[in-house]
Structure 1
């Protein structure tokens, strides 16, 4: 082997080592980002779980109107764990959400006439009479069992 071949071989080996080191650096950044994402997701799940516990407790203590509580719980459940949200106990939250989805909120509610508001409020009362027991039972189940199980095995 001549000197030129050895020099080319050494330059190639050096290039491989430099590129390998850079690849390792990039992989470490990817792994750090994955750890950060997992930590953020875990924190998000804990926060959603705590919010669900507060809402379910408030619904049971009647500190929160049934319809509003059911809507909020349904939305949080969908973001917390879709399998838990699909559980048979939680279907009442979906039912109430669907039954009220066409009703305007915020500025839309303020723009309604008094007659329209009374019609919606009558509908709310009917829904509450029809679903109050099931919603309370579902909220109790969430507090006692649903939110106690690991996410992967919630259902």
Structure 2
């Protein structure tokens, strides 16, 4: 055998080895993508269940309208699953936007009585003005988010 034949054979062996390695890597990429899709689907399914529970709790009066609206909006922001075409949740966004400046937890406790009453009045006004729209959106959500 000539040197050229040895080099050609070595080249073919290297190409086959690299192709096999590339194939293995590609299979790993496809498997990882499938795993990520499954994790995302599970996450969306859990979020959908949580959103429906919140909507039902809101409808049954177990959750204050403002708090429920904010919680639903935040979960919807993290939900990337299918949504029905007739699912209008803009009221939750409006409630969130109107209350985002109100402190929570320790910030609420640190507020003076006058400031707290001012925020409570604002929340009562929002509840009164958007009650029917919130209930309508919650009823729509309670039927499910997906198709």
Q: 1:112 to 1:88 in 2, by over 3 A?
A: same
Alpha-carbon shift at residue 72 of structure 1 (Å): 0.8
Q: Which structure dedicates a bigger proportion of its chain to helix?
A: 1
The runs of 5 or more residues in structure 2 that have no matched partner are none
Could you tell me which residue of structure 1 aligns to residue 145 of structure 2? Answer: 147
- Indicate the RMSD between aligned Cα atoms, in angstroms: 2.1
After superposition, residues 5-154 of structure 1 pair within 5 angstroms as 5-81=4-80, 84=83, 89-144=88-143, 147-149=145-147
Q: TM-score, normalised by structure 1?
A: 0.87
Alpha-carbon shift at residue 85 of structure 1 (Å): 10
Structure with bigger RCO (C-alpha 8 Å, 6+ apart): 2
The runs of 5 or more residues in structure 1 that have no matched partner are 150-155
Cα distance in 2 between the residues matched to 1:36 and 1:69: 32
Cα distance in 1 between the residues matched to 2:69 and 2:146: 19
Asked if 1 retains the 8 angstrom alpha-carbon contact of 2:58 and 2:68, the reply is yes
Q: 1:86 to 1:103 in 2, by over 3 A?
A: farther
Alpha-carbon shift at residue 78 of structure 1 (Å): 1.8
